Amino acid sequence: MRQLIFYETKKLLGRKANQIAMLLGFLLVIICSAMQIQGETLTIDGQELKGAAAVLKQQEIESLLTDELDEEFLTAFLQEYQRQIIGNPSGYSYSLIESKSNLFSLLAKNYTEWNEHFDWETLNKIPSEGGLAFYDRRMEKIETLLNADYSYGNYTEAEKQYWLKKAGAVSTPFQWGGRSTWSIIWNSIGMLFYQFLVVGLCIAPVFAGECQNRTDALILSTKYGKNRAIIAKLLVSFAFSFFYIALCGLVSVGINVVLLGTEGWDLPIQLWDTIFPYEWTVIRACIVNLGIMILIALLLTAFSLMLSAISKNPVIVLAADVLLFFGTAFLPSSKSSGLWNKIVYLVPLHCSDLQNVLKSYNDYPFGNLIISHLGMMSLVYTLLAVFFTFCAGKSFQKYRG
């Protein structure tokens, strides 16, 4: 079995097309990480900083503000800003906001309705006399989301209680610090979605390539051709997808850590959006997001293997992969069917954006049993991957040429 695994690994990694695809994939990771950092700017005292210097300076400025966001600090912070812009015709001053934009955006988003985009003018409209009631407002916003009237169906009482219990269990006041570095790291993990093209390209010929080279009949006629050889192909394919996506993630995170450091790794995810209902640190969210990417890659691998065994044509496999994993981005949500929306929420492109998943409050109720979006995605993807893998093995096993 070890020899079969070694042979299949050598065959997969030895294909010129696969080597070129992986090389381009790694280059894309490096370029995206570099561009994301280089795109950051910050103006301080008339001097414009760019790239890592801008990120680190903003990180430093915001880290010195406070250790935690208690009501007293938040009230004084906003009142000072509101006093400084009195008489400003535009309703806000970005020069005052820029270096502390993460905290200002957090305040503005918290006082903007859940289904609306915030703007900087919101900061001047927040009533601050007598205190902000920041955390009361957070729960009020979540309750408004859960109690809204939706054309495709409303939340049940069980669902409301499930989410309110989760959201209410988040510790307050929130710990504070510079979040700029981990915003970039979190976003860089989401960019790994483009690496699925590499996975699809490398996996497509696993079975179909044998058919095109007319070696399928030879493999199936050998002693272990209908069992161990197929198992080796499956194991090597899944191992490749796992380690390739994991390595891309580590390279992406590593570049950011080397250039920007790790400060802020223990900050709560509520600093990105107060309505997130999970008590996670940002490093945990990044690990979960990378895990989701790996899970999607494994589902893609299983799907590609099945099509590779059935169609016997790598081009068809790759085309189907692109359609399923990228074409589904154009699937519209429904204004009348909650079931359709729940299906759409499970397509890979939607699941890869963890920040959107966390703030959507999407769930799958079965009576009083509530399964979260993350839980249902993990369950469905695992079951589908097992099913597709079984079909792949059986389809190739039955092929007679």
Per-residue pLDDT tens over the stretch 152-162:
889 999 999 99
Predicted local distance difference test score (pLDDT) of residue 199: 94
Q: Do the beta carbons of residue 132 and residue 74 sit within 8 Å?
A: yes
Q: If pLDDT is split at 50, 70 and 90, which confidence band does 226 have?
A: low
The pLDDT tens digits for 171-189 are: 999 999 989 999 999 999 9
Q: Looking at residue 265, what is its pLDDT?
A: 94
Of the listed ranges 251-265, 299-313, 324-338, the one predicted with least confidence: 324-338
Considering the domain architecture, whether residues 84 and 208 belong to the same structural domain is answered as: no
- Final residue belonging to a domain, choices 79, 104, 136: 136
**Is 78 domain-assigned?**
yes
pLDDT > 70? residue 293: yes
How confident is the model over 85-104, as a mean pLDDT?
89
What dihedral angle (degrees, nearest 10) is formed by the CA atoms of 279, 284, 286, 292?
A: -90
Model pLDDT, residue 218: 44
34-79 tens-digit pLDDT:
999 999 999 888 889 999 999 999 999 999 999 999 999 999 999 9
* 73, 212: one domain: no
The upper half-sphere exposure of residue 256, i.e. CA atoms within 13 Å in the direction of its Cβ, equals 27
State whether 370 and 281 are in the same domain: yes
Instruction: Report the mean per-residue pLDDT for the chain.
Output: 89
Please indicate, yes or no, if residue 116 is contained in any of the structural domains.
yes
Residue 225 has pLDDT above 90, yes or no: no
Domain contains 48: no
148 occurs within a structural domain: no
Residue 46 within any structural domain of the chain = no
Residue 395 has pLDDT above 80, yes or no: no
Give the pair of three-digit tokens for residue 380: 């469905």
DSSP state, 271? Answer: G
Q: Are residues 275 and 327 in the same domain?
A: yes
The H or E element containing residue 210 is helix 205-212
> Above 50 in pLDDT, residue 146?
yes
Inform me whether the pLDDT recorded for 322 exceeds 60.
Answer: yes
Does the residue 70 lie in any domain? Answer: yes
Mean pLDDT of 316-335: 83
Q: What is the mean pLDDT of residues 209-223?
A: 51
If asked whether residues 120 and 248 sit together in one domain, one would say: no
pLDDT band at 309 (very low <50, low <70, confident <90, very high): confident
pLDDT given at position 324: 80
Query: 323 burial class (0-12, 13-18, 19+ CB within 10 angstroms)?
Result: exposed
> Is 90 exceeded by the pLDDT of residue 377?
yes
- Nearest one of 127, 114, 308 to 207, comparing CA atoms: 308
Q: Are residues 127 and 242 in the same domain?
A: no
Work out the average pLDDT over 139-153: 94
Please check whether residues 313 and 245 belong to one and the same domain: yes
| Residue 206 to residue 241: CA distance in whole angstroms | 13
pLDDT bracket for residue 310 (50, 70, 90) = confident
- Rounded CA-CA distance 180/177 in Å is 9
Confidence (pLDDT) at 227: 60
Per-residue DSSP letter, 173: S
Which residue, among 94, 105, 107, has the nearest Cα to 135 in the 3D structure? 107
**Token output for 131:** 């205190």
Same domain flag for 8 and 129:
no
| Confidence (pLDDT) at 400 | 44
As for how many domains the chain has, the answer is: 2
Q: Is residue 313 part of a domain?
A: yes
- Tokens 């502390």 locate to 100
pLDDT for residue 401: 44
Do 261 and 337 have their domain in common? yes
- What pLDDT, on the 0 to 100 scale, is given for residue 361? 94
Q: Does residue 223 have a pLDDT over 70?
A: no
Across 219-223, 290-294, 298-302, 397-401, least confident range: 219-223
Task: Mark whether 289 and 193 lie in a shared domain.
Answer: yes
Q: How far apart are CA 133 and CA 136, in angstroms?
A: 5
Check pLDDT > 80 for residue 4: no
For 264, residues 6+ apart whose C-beta sits below 8 A from its C-beta are 59, 63, 177, 178, 179, 180, 181, 182, 282
pLDDT of residue 210: 59
- 372 phi/psi in degrees, rounded to 5: -70, 165
Indicate the residue type of 125: K
Q: How far apart are CA 212 and CA 36, in angstroms?
A: 42
pLDDT at 209: 59
- Confirm whether 154 is domain-assigned: no
Choose the final residue of a domain: 75, 104, 136. 136
128 with 215, same domain?
Answer: no
Show which of 110, 136, 162 is a domain's final residue.
136
Residue 12: pLDDT band (50, 70, 90) is confident
Domain region containing 284: 2-38+177-397
Regarding whether 316 and 385 lie in a shared domain, the answer is yes
